[in-house]
Amino acid sequence: MNRKLVFLTMVSAMLAIPAVYAAAQDRPEPAPEGMDEVWQKPPHPGSGGGDMEMKGKNGPGMRLRGEIGEGKRGMGAGFVSGEEAIIIIKKHDPQFAALLEDLKNTAPAKYRMAIGMAGKFLVMAKMENDENLAKDAVRGLSLEYATRELSRSYEKAADQDKAKIKADIKVKTAELFDLRQKEQSMRIQHMEKEVAKLKAKLESRKNNKAKIVDQRVEELTGEGSGW
């Protein structure tokens, strides 16, 4: 029962929070505060500052529920450690895993964002022990990273190169859209199954009302102690 509650909680939370590639798909719908972008674009000239931090009502630097970290803190059914994430990513996309390992040294902030968002997707794959879910999550993260980097390149590119970059962004964005559709469809299917089970239990409880009431009365009066 605890596992089902954890599962429903995680699914509901993940449906409420845009997926890693949702930001690339659903504009102009506003994302929740502090979650509008995974990899922030460089600030415009004159804006000051470097890479932006993810900020929300929890304040800068606060971890969200389901987010993963560098170590093993918070391990359990609803969490994936940074080490686990890298292992899974390396299994399904060694080249992207190598890129992340490089970012760990060259761009730590970007690396932490990437690993954090990877965890949000890999949580469900871990809970369901589903390799296909894990593979899709890794692919989605890789494509999201690629589109963000292409977006940065587009801003700096010469005019004659922009058309090619834009076309590449469109191809990757279309694949991200398909992945998100598949992902949300699977989430809904899982939720429907869990709801069906809960309805069956509720109906069974209703049919056994007299027995349940009698048992409770015996407990309250001490007559059902069995001594």
Q: What is the pLDDT of residues 106-150, one digit of tens each?
A: 999 989 888 888 877 788 777 878 888 889 989 988 998 899 999
Contact 8, 194 (CB under 8 A): yes
- The tokens for 208 are 């056994």
Decide: pTM greater than 0.85. no
153 Ramachandran zone, left/alpha/beta (phi>0; psi -120 to 50): alpha
pLDDT confidence of residue 10: 55
Apex 174 CA angle, 168 and 175, nearest 5: 95
Contacts of residue 144, Cβ cutoff 8 Å, sequence gap at least 6: 20, 21, 23, 24, 38, 39, 117, 176
Looking at per-residue pLDDT, the higher value among 8 and 94 belongs to 94
76 beta partners? 79
pLDDT confidence of residue 85: 87
Which 3 state secondary structure label does DSSP give 79?
strand
Q: How many CA atoms lie within 13 A of 198 on its CB side?
A: 10
* Terminal C-alpha separation, the chain: 30
Contacts of residue 78, Cβ cutoff 8 Å, sequence gap at least 6: 6, 9, 10, 65, 66, 123, 127
pLDDT, average across residues 145-167: 93
Contact 96, 146 (CB under 8 A): no
